[in-house]
A and B are shown apart, each in its own frame.
Chain A
Amino acid sequence: RKEVEQDPGPFNVPEGATVAFNCTYSNSASQSFFWYRQDCRKEPKLLMSVYSSGNEDGRFTAQLNRASQYISLLIRDSKLSDSATYLCAVYTSGTYKYIFGTGTRLKVLA
């Protein structure tokens, strides 16, 4: 089993739709969680950190479920510009490294 898993997609959604992605992790000792956005042939850019109580940034909401070992990203009112690959990253202090999922491709259609 991979340490961090994501559905690769693609998720094709119309503009204005709400879409959610999950990311599961296998190491229960993982401490910090992040969502990144990566556009084609570009570097990943931090979208948001994921806090235990859940957090929101505009149209984006991130949640953490420690019991089931997954994090989620919800995008409301999707825009064409949201089309990208969304990567989750998990940091475990004992390993001192970040493990990335394979990413979920999102295509927002006009």
Chain B
Amino acid sequence: GAVVSQHPSWVICKSGTSVKIECRSLDFQATTMFWYRQFPKQSLMLMATSNEGSKATYEQGVEKDKFLINHASLTLSTLTVTSAHPEDSSFYICSARGSGRTSNQPQHFGDGTRLSIL
């Protein structure tokens, strides 16, 4: 099945640090990737939709200058949390949707990145 790789899986760093998370589709081309955040015991919250070769579309309330998204190729999207603070600590998960024409394309998730800001 489709594989999405996310790296790193765990990050612990000091407040004010910028953290970059990579999301790769390993065996398919992903024209669209999604970035989610999940706080403990809560649902996945979509942060932004990343489209290859164009600007990401951010959900309401998500600061685009704080969460920088780059989707430079069909297999890689990156999320950079700039100047991270303790309230940014969360589980960040990327997903990728294949480039097939049918609308019934599921998305496949990376392993997630657990970010802890001290």
Binding site for B on A (CB under 8 A): 31-32, 34, 41-46, 49, 51, 87, 89, 91, 93, 96-103
Whether A93 and B43, one on each chain, are in contact in the complex, defined by CB atoms closer than 8 angstroms, is no
Q: How far is B105's CA from A104's CA once the two chains are assembled, in angstroms?
A: 23
Q: B62 at interface (Cβ–Cβ under 8 A)? A: no
Q: B34 at interface (Cβ–Cβ under 8 A)? A: yes
Chain B residues in 8 Å Cβ range of A41: 91, 114
Whether B49 and A32, one on each chain, are in contact in the complex, defined by CB atoms closer than 8 angstroms, is no
Binding site for A on B (CB under 8 A): 1, 6, 32, 34, 42-44, 46, 49, 91, 93, 95, 103-112, 114
CB distance from A101 to the nearest CB of B (A): 7
Whether A49 and B32, one on each chain, are in contact in the complex, defined by CB atoms closer than 8 angstroms, is no
CB distance from A8 to the nearest CB of B (A): 9
27 contacts between A and B (CB under 8 A): A31-B103, A32-B103, A32-B105, A34-B106, A41-B91, A42-B112, A43-B6, A43-B93, A44-B109, A45-B109, A46-B1, A46-B106, A46-B107, A46-B108, A49-B106, A87-B43, A87-B44, A89-B106, A89-B107, A97-B46, A98-B46, A98-B107, A100-B43, A100-B46, A101-B43, A102-B42, A102-B43
